[in-house]
Structure 1
Amino acid sequence: MNLLHFFSLIPALFGLSSNDRNVTTLTVEQTTIFRIPVRPHPPTAPLFEWQELKGPKCLPAADIVGAMLAGRDAIDFMTRDRTRYRARIDDDCTALDFYDGFYVQPQDDRLCARRDEIRSRMGASCRIEKFHLLAPRLRR
Protein backbone atom coordinates (compact mmCIF):
# COMPACT_ATOMS: atom_id res chain seq x y z
CA MET A 1 0.00 0.00 0.00
CA ASN A 2 1.52 3.28 -1.00
CA LEU A 3 1.26 6.51 0.95
CA LEU A 4 -1.52 7.95 -1.26
CA HIS A 5 -3.78 4.95 -0.62
CA PHE A 6 -3.13 5.19 3.11
CA PHE A 7 -4.18 8.86 3.27
CA SER A 8 -7.33 8.15 1.24
CA LEU A 9 -8.46 5.73 3.97
CA ILE A 10 -8.23 8.25 6.83
CA PRO A 11 -11.68 9.88 6.21
CA ALA A 12 -13.32 6.43 6.15
CA LEU A 13 -11.72 5.53 9.47
CA PHE A 14 -13.35 8.52 11.14
CA GLY A 15 -16.68 8.24 9.30
CA LEU A 16 -15.99 11.34 7.25
CA SER A 17 -16.24 9.75 3.83
CA SER A 18 -18.46 11.36 1.23
CA ASN A 19 -22.13 10.42 1.00
CA ASP A 20 -21.50 8.04 -1.90
CA ARG A 21 -24.73 6.59 -3.28
CA ASN A 22 -23.13 3.86 -5.42
CA VAL A 23 -23.39 0.13 -4.97
CA THR A 24 -20.41 -1.01 -2.93
CA THR A 25 -19.00 -4.49 -2.63
CA LEU A 26 -17.32 -5.95 0.42
CA THR A 27 -15.65 -9.36 0.44
CA VAL A 28 -14.98 -10.94 3.82
CA GLU A 29 -13.49 -14.43 3.94
CA GLN A 30 -14.74 -15.19 0.41
CA THR A 31 -18.28 -13.97 1.17
CA THR A 32 -19.44 -11.11 -1.04
CA ILE A 33 -21.87 -8.52 0.35
CA PHE A 34 -23.39 -5.76 -1.82
CA ARG A 35 -24.62 -2.52 -0.23
CA ILE A 36 -27.31 -1.06 -2.47
CA PRO A 37 -28.42 2.55 -1.99
CA VAL A 38 -32.10 3.43 -2.30
CA ARG A 39 -32.76 6.45 -4.48
CA PRO A 40 -35.68 8.80 -3.77
CA HIS A 41 -38.62 8.97 -6.16
CA PRO A 42 -38.78 12.03 -8.42
CA PRO A 43 -41.00 14.76 -6.90
CA THR A 44 -43.18 15.23 -10.02
CA ALA A 45 -45.52 12.74 -11.66
CA PRO A 46 -43.81 11.10 -14.64
CA LEU A 47 -45.36 10.94 -18.09
CA PHE A 48 -45.22 7.17 -18.01
CA GLU A 49 -45.93 4.30 -15.65
CA TRP A 50 -44.18 0.98 -15.22
CA GLN A 51 -45.83 -2.16 -16.59
CA GLU A 52 -44.76 -5.43 -14.94
CA LEU A 53 -43.79 -8.21 -17.34
CA LYS A 54 -42.50 -11.69 -16.70
CA GLY A 55 -39.03 -11.37 -15.22
CA PRO A 56 -36.00 -13.57 -14.72
CA LYS A 57 -35.47 -15.87 -11.78
CA CYS A 58 -32.05 -14.30 -11.07
CA LEU A 59 -30.21 -11.01 -11.71
CA PRO A 60 -26.42 -10.71 -12.03
CA ALA A 61 -25.49 -9.04 -8.74
CA ALA A 62 -22.61 -7.08 -10.26
CA ASP A 63 -25.00 -5.39 -12.74
CA ILE A 64 -27.16 -3.77 -10.02
CA VAL A 65 -26.40 -0.05 -9.67
CA GLY A 66 -29.21 1.12 -7.40
CA ALA A 67 -32.74 0.66 -6.13
CA MET A 68 -36.00 2.53 -5.42
CA LEU A 69 -38.88 1.72 -3.14
CA ALA A 70 -41.89 0.81 -5.29
CA GLY A 71 -44.67 0.36 -2.80
CA ARG A 72 -45.33 -1.54 0.38
CA ASP A 73 -44.02 -4.90 -0.84
CA ALA A 74 -41.71 -4.06 -3.76
CA ILE A 75 -38.28 -2.66 -4.53
CA ASP A 76 -37.15 -1.66 -8.03
CA PHE A 77 -33.59 -2.56 -9.01
CA MET A 78 -31.78 -0.57 -11.71
CA THR A 79 -29.06 -2.32 -13.67
CA ARG A 80 -25.98 -1.13 -15.51
CA ASP A 81 -27.75 -1.31 -18.90
CA ARG A 82 -30.63 0.86 -17.52
CA THR A 83 -33.07 -2.03 -17.33
CA ARG A 84 -35.40 -1.93 -14.37
CA TYR A 85 -36.64 -4.95 -12.40
CA ARG A 86 -39.22 -5.04 -9.61
CA ALA A 87 -38.52 -7.42 -6.75
CA ARG A 88 -41.60 -8.52 -4.82
CA ILE A 89 -40.79 -9.35 -1.22
CA ASP A 90 -42.57 -11.42 1.45
CA ASP A 91 -46.07 -10.25 2.38
CA ASP A 92 -45.08 -9.95 6.04
CA CYS A 93 -42.21 -7.57 5.19
CA THR A 94 -42.50 -3.91 4.40
CA ALA A 95 -40.24 -2.23 1.87
CA LEU A 96 -40.24 0.95 3.95
CA ASP A 97 -37.76 -0.74 6.29
CA PHE A 98 -35.22 -0.43 3.47
CA TYR A 99 -35.55 3.32 2.80
CA ASP A 100 -31.90 4.05 3.69
CA GLY A 101 -30.31 1.32 1.60
CA PHE A 102 -29.89 -2.37 2.17
CA TYR A 103 -27.51 -5.26 1.80
CA VAL A 104 -27.72 -8.41 -0.29
CA GLN A 105 -25.52 -11.42 0.17
CA PRO A 106 -26.12 -13.72 -2.81
CA GLN A 107 -24.99 -17.33 -2.58
CA ASP A 108 -23.13 -16.91 -5.88
CA ASP A 109 -22.74 -14.04 -8.36
CA ARG A 110 -26.51 -13.82 -8.94
CA LEU A 111 -29.37 -12.45 -6.85
CA CYS A 112 -32.20 -15.00 -7.11
CA ALA A 113 -35.88 -14.97 -6.21
CA ARG A 114 -37.11 -17.50 -3.63
CA ARG A 115 -33.51 -17.99 -2.48
CA ASP A 116 -31.85 -14.70 -1.51
CA GLU A 117 -32.81 -12.08 1.06
CA ILE A 118 -32.37 -8.36 1.34
CA ARG A 119 -31.26 -7.02 4.72
CA SER A 120 -31.87 -3.55 6.07
CA ARG A 121 -29.24 -1.59 7.93
CA MET A 122 -31.46 -1.92 11.02
CA GLY A 123 -31.40 -5.74 10.95
CA ALA A 124 -34.66 -6.65 9.20
CA SER A 125 -34.48 -9.21 6.40
CA CYS A 126 -36.97 -10.22 3.71
CA ARG A 127 -36.84 -12.91 1.06
CA ILE A 128 -37.25 -11.91 -2.58
CA GLU A 129 -40.31 -13.77 -3.89
CA LYS A 130 -40.26 -12.83 -7.58
CA PHE A 131 -38.67 -10.50 -10.14
CA HIS A 132 -40.66 -8.63 -12.79
CA LEU A 133 -39.17 -6.87 -15.81
CA LEU A 134 -40.49 -3.31 -15.94
CA ALA A 135 -41.42 -1.66 -19.24
CA PRO A 136 -42.38 2.03 -19.50
CA ARG A 137 -45.90 2.80 -20.77
CA LEU A 138 -47.37 6.27 -21.42
CA ARG A 139 -49.89 7.41 -18.83
CA ARG A 140 -53.40 8.03 -20.04
Structure 2
Amino acid sequence: MIGAGMLSVLLLTGGSAAIVVSEPQVQPMHLAQLTIRQTVIVRVPTRGTNAPAPVEWKESKGPKCVSMSAVAGAAVVKADSVDIILRGGGRVRAQFEDECPALDYYSGFYIRPSGDKRVCAGRDTVHARSGGECQIRRFRTLTPVKSTKK
Protein backbone atom coordinates (compact mmCIF):
# COMPACT_ATOMS: atom_id res chain seq x y z
CA MET A 1 0.00 0.00 0.00
CA ILE A 2 1.27 3.43 -0.87
CA GLY A 3 0.56 6.21 1.61
CA ALA A 4 -1.47 9.30 0.81
CA GLY A 5 0.46 12.00 -0.96
CA MET A 6 2.71 9.55 -2.80
CA LEU A 7 2.37 8.94 -6.49
CA SER A 8 2.77 5.50 -7.94
CA VAL A 9 3.13 4.72 -11.59
CA LEU A 10 2.93 1.25 -13.06
CA LEU A 11 5.11 0.77 -16.08
CA LEU A 12 4.66 -2.18 -18.32
CA THR A 13 7.62 -2.89 -20.55
CA GLY A 14 8.10 -6.18 -22.34
CA GLY A 15 6.14 -8.31 -19.94
CA SER A 16 7.70 -6.94 -16.77
CA ALA A 17 6.14 -4.48 -14.42
CA ALA A 18 7.86 -1.82 -12.37
CA ILE A 19 6.49 0.50 -9.75
CA VAL A 20 7.99 3.94 -9.61
CA VAL A 21 7.29 5.90 -6.46
CA SER A 22 7.89 9.62 -6.52
CA GLU A 23 8.84 11.68 -3.44
CA PRO A 24 6.03 13.54 -1.70
CA GLN A 25 5.76 17.15 -2.63
CA VAL A 26 7.51 19.33 -0.07
CA GLN A 27 5.79 22.57 0.85
CA PRO A 28 8.10 25.58 1.07
CA MET A 29 8.91 26.57 4.64
CA HIS A 30 8.64 30.22 5.68
CA LEU A 31 10.75 31.42 8.58
CA ALA A 32 10.33 34.59 10.58
CA GLN A 33 11.92 36.13 13.63
CA LEU A 34 10.02 38.09 16.28
CA THR A 35 11.79 40.28 18.80
CA ILE A 36 9.85 41.61 21.78
CA ARG A 37 11.25 44.56 23.67
CA GLN A 38 9.48 45.69 26.77
CA THR A 39 9.86 47.71 29.91
CA VAL A 40 8.83 46.28 33.24
CA ILE A 41 7.05 48.73 35.50
CA VAL A 42 6.34 47.55 39.01
CA ARG A 43 3.41 49.25 40.68
CA VAL A 44 3.83 49.24 44.44
CA PRO A 45 0.59 50.00 46.31
CA THR A 46 1.02 52.15 49.38
CA ARG A 47 -0.65 52.39 52.71
CA GLY A 48 -2.39 55.69 53.41
CA THR A 49 -0.39 58.28 55.35
CA ASN A 50 -3.28 58.88 57.78
CA ALA A 51 -2.99 55.39 59.30
CA PRO A 52 -0.86 55.32 62.43
CA ALA A 53 2.36 53.35 62.25
CA PRO A 54 2.01 50.25 64.42
CA VAL A 55 5.71 50.11 65.25
CA GLU A 56 8.51 52.59 65.82
CA TRP A 57 11.59 51.98 63.69
CA LYS A 58 15.28 52.51 64.33
CA GLU A 59 17.28 53.44 61.23
CA SER A 60 20.75 52.09 60.53
CA LYS A 61 23.05 51.93 57.52
CA GLY A 62 21.28 50.30 54.60
CA PRO A 63 22.21 48.54 51.38
CA LYS A 64 23.26 50.37 48.21
CA CYS A 65 20.68 48.44 46.14
CA VAL A 66 17.51 46.41 46.68
CA SER A 67 16.53 43.51 44.42
CA MET A 68 13.04 43.97 42.94
CA SER A 69 12.29 40.28 43.55
CA ALA A 70 12.66 40.96 47.30
CA VAL A 71 10.04 43.76 47.35
CA ALA A 72 6.64 42.82 48.80
CA GLY A 73 5.09 46.28 49.25
CA ALA A 74 5.67 49.86 50.35
CA ALA A 75 4.34 52.61 52.59
CA VAL A 76 4.69 56.39 52.20
CA VAL A 77 5.84 57.57 55.63
CA LYS A 78 7.06 61.12 55.06
CA ALA A 79 7.32 63.54 52.18
CA ASP A 80 11.02 62.67 51.82
CA SER A 81 10.97 58.86 52.16
CA VAL A 82 9.17 55.61 51.44
CA ASP A 83 9.39 52.38 53.46
CA ILE A 84 9.93 49.33 51.25
CA ILE A 85 8.60 46.15 52.82
CA LEU A 86 10.66 43.13 51.88
CA ARG A 87 9.62 39.50 51.54
CA GLY A 88 10.42 37.85 54.82
CA GLY A 89 9.34 40.86 56.88
CA GLY A 90 12.36 43.18 56.64
CA ARG A 91 12.05 46.89 55.89
CA VAL A 92 14.24 49.38 54.12
CA ARG A 93 13.60 53.12 53.98
CA ALA A 94 14.30 54.84 50.66
CA GLN A 95 15.20 58.46 51.41
CA PHE A 96 14.88 60.97 48.58
CA GLU A 97 17.16 63.83 47.56
CA ASP A 98 14.33 66.31 48.22
CA GLU A 99 10.77 66.14 49.46
CA CYS A 100 8.46 64.25 47.14
CA PRO A 101 4.94 65.57 47.80
CA ALA A 102 3.64 64.12 44.52
CA LEU A 103 3.50 60.64 46.12
CA ASP A 104 0.55 61.64 48.31
CA TYR A 105 -1.56 62.87 45.39
CA TYR A 106 -2.50 59.39 44.15
CA SER A 107 -2.25 56.20 46.16
CA GLY A 108 0.74 54.42 44.72
CA PHE A 109 3.91 54.98 42.80
CA TYR A 110 6.12 53.17 40.32
CA ILE A 111 9.67 51.93 40.54
CA ARG A 112 11.37 51.17 37.25
CA PRO A 113 14.23 48.75 37.88
CA SER A 114 17.25 48.90 35.61
CA GLY A 115 18.47 45.98 33.52
CA ASP A 116 20.02 44.38 36.61
CA LYS A 117 16.51 44.17 38.22
CA ARG A 118 17.66 46.17 41.23
CA VAL A 119 16.78 49.60 42.54
CA CYS A 120 19.89 51.48 43.63
CA ALA A 121 20.43 54.65 45.65
CA GLY A 122 22.01 57.49 43.71
CA ARG A 123 20.92 55.94 40.41
CA ASP A 124 17.18 55.20 40.36
CA THR A 125 14.03 57.21 40.91
CA VAL A 126 10.53 56.60 42.23
CA HIS A 127 7.81 57.74 39.82
CA ALA A 128 4.63 59.22 41.25
CA ARG A 129 1.41 58.36 39.43
CA SER A 130 0.83 62.09 38.95
CA GLY A 131 3.94 62.25 36.77
CA GLY A 132 6.60 63.50 39.19
CA GLU A 133 9.71 61.59 40.07
CA CYS A 134 11.95 61.51 43.12
CA GLN A 135 15.64 60.55 43.13
CA ILE A 136 16.58 57.95 45.78
CA ARG A 137 19.47 59.34 47.85
CA ARG A 138 20.07 56.34 50.12
CA PHE A 139 18.54 53.29 51.76
CA ARG A 140 18.34 52.83 55.53
CA THR A 141 17.68 49.47 57.17
CA LEU A 142 14.79 49.61 59.66
CA THR A 143 14.67 47.62 62.88
CA PRO A 144 11.59 47.64 65.13
CA VAL A 145 12.09 49.35 68.48
CA LYS A 146 10.63 47.46 71.42
CA SER A 147 8.07 49.65 73.07
CA THR A 148 8.50 50.32 76.80
CA LYS A 149 4.85 51.42 77.10
CA LYS A 150 2.36 49.02 78.70
Scaled by the length of structure 2, the TM-score of the pair is 0.66
Distance 1:137 1:124, change over 3 A: same
Q: CA RMSD in A?
A: 2.2
The aligned residue for residue 142 of structure 2 is 134
The aligned residue for residue 108 of structure 2 is 101
Residue 39 in 1 paired to residue 47 in 2? yes
Q: Distance in 2 between matches of 1:128 and 1:38?
A: 17
Structure 1 runs not aligned, ≥5 long = 1-27
Structure 2 runs not aligned, ≥5 long = 1-35
Q: Which has the larger radius of gyration?
A: 2
Q: Deviation per CA, 1:92-111, whole angstroms, max 9, x where unpaired?
A: 43364465111111112101
Q: Secondary structure at the match of 2:69?
A: helix
Q: 2:73 aligns with which of 40, 45, 66?
A: 66
Residue 120 in 1 paired to residue 150 in 2? no
Q: Secondary structure at the match of 1:39?
A: coil
4+ long deviations beyond 6 Å:
none
Q: Secondary structure at the match of 2:78?
A: coil
Q: Distance in 2 between matches of 1:55 and 1:76?
A: 12
Q: Secondary structure at the match of 1:106?
A: coil
Counterpart contact for 2:102–2:130, Cα < 8 Å: no
More RCO (CA 8 Å, sep 6+):
1
The aligned residue for residue 56 of structure 1 is 63
The aligned residue for residue 7 of structure 1 is none
Q: Distance in 2 between matches of 1:81 and 1:69?
A: 20
Aligned-pair identity (%): 42
